[in-house]
Amino acid sequence: QIILWGRTEKCLKETTEEIRMMGTECHYFICDVGNREEVYRQAKAVREKVGDITILVNNAAVVHGKSLMDSDDDALLKSQHINTLGQFWTTKAFLPRMLELQNGHIVCLNSVLALSAIPGAIDYCTSKASSFAFMESLTLGLLDCPGVNATTVLPFHTSTEMFQGMRIRFPNLFPPLKPETVANSAVITVLMKQVWTMHVLVILKSILPQAALEEIHKFSGSYTCMNTFKGRT
């Protein structure tokens, strides 16, 4: 059975109905993961109404697509509360029971921007880098905890409304990923207990000097891809 959390009831209802039509039991709860008290309250409601959670997928995120000086302070805080701190609260809410049962998995749908930041999305890149460090530390802390694991997924640009309008220089060479592709890869990654990301990028960042990396980003259009950003928060 699947439990959905989100801030918009209309979207939750539609997705729940889709899942139920496929023959899977599904429930939804309205919850803003950036709100600590709300997370703990709804986690209690889930346990009472449905039961224990054994796989937690942290997927909630927002992006505002502006430079630091053009960003509203509240918008910057919102990104950090949802993209980063939200994982602290959800993990604290469900991990203790997983440890008791010796059965659980914490999954983070992160972004390749956690490893390679771009201009124009400073709130998002910062929150994702912090989220990556959170998961890295959590994973190491679970090494001696039998039956409980953690997995981080760092996909490339995915074709959702979130990054609508973002353009890279060579879209045929680096096409946006379909949400279904990311979802399927996430499931496989969880089963294999490994990180899924652009390994070439990780290798390049490890061996090339900063000046060379900057030239690669300029050539690929990474530094200007947010100029046409429209997005959805």
Name the average pLDDT for the chain: 85
Position 91 scores a pLDDT of: 98
Q: How many helices (H) and strands (E) does the chain have?
A: 8, 5
* d(C-alpha 13, C-alpha 183), whole Å: 20
Instruction: Delimit the domains of the chain by residue range.
Output: 31-220
Confidence band (pLDDT; 50, 70, 90) for 166? low
Does pTM surpass 0.85? no
Architecture of the structural domain at 31-220: 3-Layer(aba) Sandwich (3.40)
Mean pLDDT, rounded, for 176-201: 74
Catalytic residues: 124
* Calpha distance 79→71 (Å, rounded): 11
> Which of 8-12, 131-135, 216-220, 228-232 bottoms out in mean pLDDT, i.e. has the lowest?
228-232
Evaluate if residue 225 carries a pLDDT over 60: no
| Percent of the chain clearing pLDDT 90 (strictly above) | 55
Q: What is the pLDDT of residue 188?
A: 86
pLDDT, residue 175, reads 73
Looking at this protein, which amino acid is placed at residue 221? G
Say yes or no to pLDDT of 155 above 90: no
Distance CA 83, CA 180 (A): 21
pLDDT band at 217 (very low <50, low <70, confident <90, very high): low
